[in-house]
């Protein structure tokens, strides 16, 4: 008899971390020469709106259009390097401890942990590695032959597209969706929640809270930030990598590359 394979799918923003992941990296992208000061100010305003009001479908569409125009011409490898070099600085203060505990619980139970986000893959994949996730599903901006963003999307990790990608992963990896879990804060992720057997609302917006009550779905509140490197001492590769970035900030990129390659050797 084969063992049923299952996974836990986590939204990222306001579910695992307390802010918009894309906006959180505004200052590092500015320091890297990719963002203007005006864009940083607009990002700060967008963050306030995101936290106080939430991101409904209309707001998300505006964000999508604005982001694509803003990043047009950026190089995806440069963005990924900036994200990796500043992960500890940016992400550690805004990770929910409750989310880390759930991730650990699912992995102890033998379930894969997958982060599913509308943020770009260049942001989500390093975050997934940093958090110990097994895989990610994220927006993929289209790039030209030099790796520069064209202003179009190859895949948009939002709404029904998230659910479609989860079903495709389940088919590919032999996952039993009725045994899978999904966690999110936004009603725009209703298709993702309905794709699995165990949907859970986390810090839900008003519409998701209403839907969860109507459907008798569990509602969780995450509000306790923790330092990741203090919470995950058993993940030596991740913790050591974080330590290298902190201690050797001046040569962080080179040491990160060496560490990752030595670790995989």
**Catalytic annotation present for 234:** no
Q: How far is CA 22 from CA 13, 117, 135, 216, 225, in A?
A: 9, 11, 19, 32, 19
How many residues can be counted in the chain? 265
Q: How far is CA 26 from CA 119, 156, 213, 248, 251, in A?
A: 13, 21, 36, 22, 21
**Catalytic annotation present for 185:** no
- Residue from 11, 88, 185, 189 carrying the catalytic annotation: 11
Distance CA 64, CA 140 (A): 12
- Residue from 13, 88, 189, 205 carrying the catalytic annotation: 13
Which of 82-85's residues contact partners 24+ apart within 8 Å by CB, and which partners?
A: 82/25, 82/28, 82/29, 82/32, 82/34, 83/25, 83/28, 83/122, 83/123, 83/126, 83/127, 84/126, 84/253, 84/256, 85/28, 85/245, 85/252, 85/253, 85/256
Q: How far is CA 127 from CA 87, 91, 122, 250, in A?
A: 7, 8, 9, 21
Distance CA 43, CA 27 (A): 10
State the pairing for strand pair 219-220/198-202.
parallel
Question: If DSSP codes are grouped into helix, strand and coil, which group holds residue 138?
Answer: strand
Distance CA 111, CA 102 (A): 11
Residues classed as catalytic: 11, 13
């Amino acid at each position: 008899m084969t063992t049923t394979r299952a996974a836990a799918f986590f939204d990222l923003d306001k579910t695992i971390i307390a802010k918009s992941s894309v906006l959180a990296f505004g200052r590092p992208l500015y320091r890297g020469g990719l963002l203007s000061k005006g864009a940083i100010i607009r990002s700060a305003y967008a963050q306030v709106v995101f936290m106080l009001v939430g991101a409904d479908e209309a707001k998300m569409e505006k964000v999508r259009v604005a982001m694509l125009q803003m990043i047009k011409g950026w190089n995806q490898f440069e963005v990924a390097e900036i994200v990796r070099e500043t992960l500890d600085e940016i992400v550690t203060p805004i990770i929910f401890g409750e989310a880390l505990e759930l991730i650990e619980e699912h992995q102890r139970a033998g379930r894969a942990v997958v982060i599913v986000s509308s943020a770009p893959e260049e942001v989500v994949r390093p975050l997934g590695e940093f958090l110990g996730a097994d895989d990610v599903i994220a927006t993929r901006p289209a790039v030209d032959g030099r790796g520069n963003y064209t202003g179009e999307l190859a895949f948009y990790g939002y709404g029904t597209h998230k659910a479609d990608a989860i079903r495709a992963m389940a088919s590919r990896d032999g996952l039993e969706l009725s045994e899978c879990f999904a966690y999110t804060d936004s009603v725009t992720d209703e298709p993702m929640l309905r794709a699995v057997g165990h949907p859970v609302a986390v810090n839900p917006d008003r519409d998701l809270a209403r839907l969860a009550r109507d459907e008798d779905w569990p509602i969780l509140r995450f509000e306790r930030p923790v330092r990741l490197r203090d919470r995950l001492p058993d993940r030596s590769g991740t913790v050591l990598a974080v330590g290298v970035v902190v201690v050797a900030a001046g040569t962080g990129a080179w040491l990160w590359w060496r560490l990752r390659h030595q670790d995989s050797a």
